[in-house]
Amino acid sequence: MQTIGLEIYFLKNTNRTPAILLLRVYLHIKGLFLIAFVLLKLGTMENSERDKSLFLRYLDDLYTKEDARRLMDGLQCSEHHGIDGFEELATDIWEESSVRQARTDLEREQYKKEARLLLKHIEHKKRTWFRRTVAAVASVAAVVCLIFGSISYIHYIDRQQISYLEASTSFGERKEIQLPDGTYLTLNSCSRVRYPNRFVDDERRIELEGEGYFRVYHNEKQPFIVNARHFDVCVLGTCFNVKSYSSDEVVSVDVESGKVQVDMPEAMMRLQAKEQVLINTVSGEYNKRHEERAVAVWRKGSLRFNTTPIRDVAKELERMYNCRITFAEGQDFNNLISGEHDNKSLEAVLQSIEYTSGIRYKKSGNQVLLYKQ
């Protein structure tokens, strides 16, 4: 069902009393204090489970167009009622919503303070409508300034206290890291990750150079974003592998479970479990395909090549076996290599490549020369 912002609905459909006009100014403010403000100026709606449900859903931004119309009708009729029933309704809403999760802990505490202040003002309901309206506007304006000032200041302090951490791996090394949100990351060889000591914004963003396998802690309100060199990967909670070495021609994303979104400079792609995308950073071409085999076999010391350019294969062998691979001058090496190698020695992998591609090798210590006859 399509949802709309209640404040937008009011602005498009309201043309009434000065109190309504004053309401327009504050309709963008979310939370219980908005509800209290509305009812304080316009009277009360019927104290029923239906009305409480409407208001509680408004706190969660789950209003549909029909819900907004019902609330609008209630407000239009409210001028024919007093505010005697407001105290009971507002108290009920407050008690029920106090156990609901606010957008952030900070907002929850600020809304609680505001609700208590406004409920105290209801005791003065014997004043005239004009005096009540003026007092409510002044009170809400002051509290709004206080709330947003406090939130801005606290947010500023939080931002100032954030520091960034880095972790990296060397040749033949793998490392497991737990991020501040509970996400687990396994770094492959010659990789680096940079992340904050805590996530305070509406997203969890990290930077990755190299290859990493992620088990992301699920949080719908705070998407997890991996900034890689050639793309971003956005998820809520899933398991996936990102391979994005700056020196490689082909980079990739493999999804083990859940769904991910891959944002490239001029395109966007969604992947589901058992899907993979290969992106050629030279030609700009990409290949999305189904992959039934296990994701990130490198975590167990294995290698897998799937139509991988031979030069990328050489770089992966260098990272895993801490060797130096060069290509004979004056020869073309456009071969694409496929195959899987489980915990094999460098010599065994080179022999397999020679058998399938015809590319020969000479090995001296940790130096390897690839050539063709």
Q: Is residue 101 part of a domain?
A: yes
Shared domain check, 190 and 139: no
Supply the pLDDT for residue 355.
93
Supply the pLDDT for residue 63.
43
Per-residue DSSP letter, 47: -
Given a contact cutoff of 8 angstroms between Cβ atoms, the answer to whether 343 and 303 are in contact is: no
Q: Is residue 30 part of a domain?
A: yes
Supply the pLDDT for residue 208.
97
Supply the pLDDT for residue 211.
98
Distance of CA 325 to the CA centre of its chain: 40
Residue that finishes a domain, picked among 296, 320, 350:
296
Q: Is residue 1 part of a domain?
A: no
Q: Is residue 171 part of a domain?
A: yes
Q: Is residue 196 part of a domain?
A: yes
Strands (E), the chain: 164-168, 175-178, 184-187, 192-196, 204-215, 224-227, 232-235, 239-244, 250-257, 259-264, 267-272, 275-280, 286-290, 302-309, 324-327, 336-342, 360-364, 367-371
**Total domain count for the chain?**
3
Q: Which residues of the chain are under the pLDDT cut of 70? A: 1-160
Supply the pLDDT for residue 303.
95
Shared domain check, 115 and 172: no
Shared domain check, 306 and 280: no
Supply the pLDDT for residue 20.
38
Distance from C-alpha of 23 to C-alpha of 57, rounded to nearest angstrom: 19
Shared domain check, 199 and 186: yes
CATH number where 271 lies: 2.60.120.1440
Beta bridge partners of 271: 260
Shared domain check, 253 and 109: no
Shared domain check, 310 and 273: no
Distance of CA 358 to the CA centre of its chain: 46
Model confidence pLDDT, tens digit, residues 243-272: 999 999 999 999 999 999 999 887 889 999
Distance from C-alpha of 94 to C-alpha of 131, rounded to nearest angstrom: 25
Residue that finishes a domain, picked among 273, 296, 319:
296
Supply the pLDDT for residue 133.
56
Model confidence pLDDT, tens digit, residues 312-324: 999 999 999 999 9
Task: Give the range of the structural domain holding residue 174, as residue numbers without chain letter.
Answer: 162-296
Please state, as a whole number, how many other Cβ atoms lie within 10 Å of the Cβ of residue 265.
Answer: 8
Shared domain check, 180 and 46: no
Q: Is residue 131 part of a domain?
A: yes
Supply the pLDDT for residue 14.
43
Give residues with Cβ within 8 angstroms of 197, minimum separation 6.
162, 163, 164, 165, 180
Shared domain check, 145 and 17: yes
Q: Is residue 366 part of a domain?
A: yes
Residue that finishes a domain, picked among 134, 158, 182:
158
Given a contact cutoff of 8 angstroms between Cβ atoms, the answer to whether 279 and 292 are in contact is: no
Given a contact cutoff of 8 angstroms between Cβ atoms, the answer to whether 293 and 304 are in contact is: yes
Supply the pLDDT for residue 144.
54
CATH number where 335 lies: 3.55.50.30
Shared domain check, 141 and 185: no
Distance from C-alpha of 320 to C-alpha of 327, rounded to nearest angstrom: 18
Given a contact cutoff of 8 angstroms between Cβ atoms, the answer to whether 83 and 125 are in contact is: yes
Shared domain check, 192 and 281: yes
Distance from C-alpha of 335 to C-alpha of 120, rounded to nearest angstrom: 78
Shared domain check, 279 and 167: yes
Q: Is residue 209 part of a domain?
A: yes
Shared domain check, 182 and 138: no
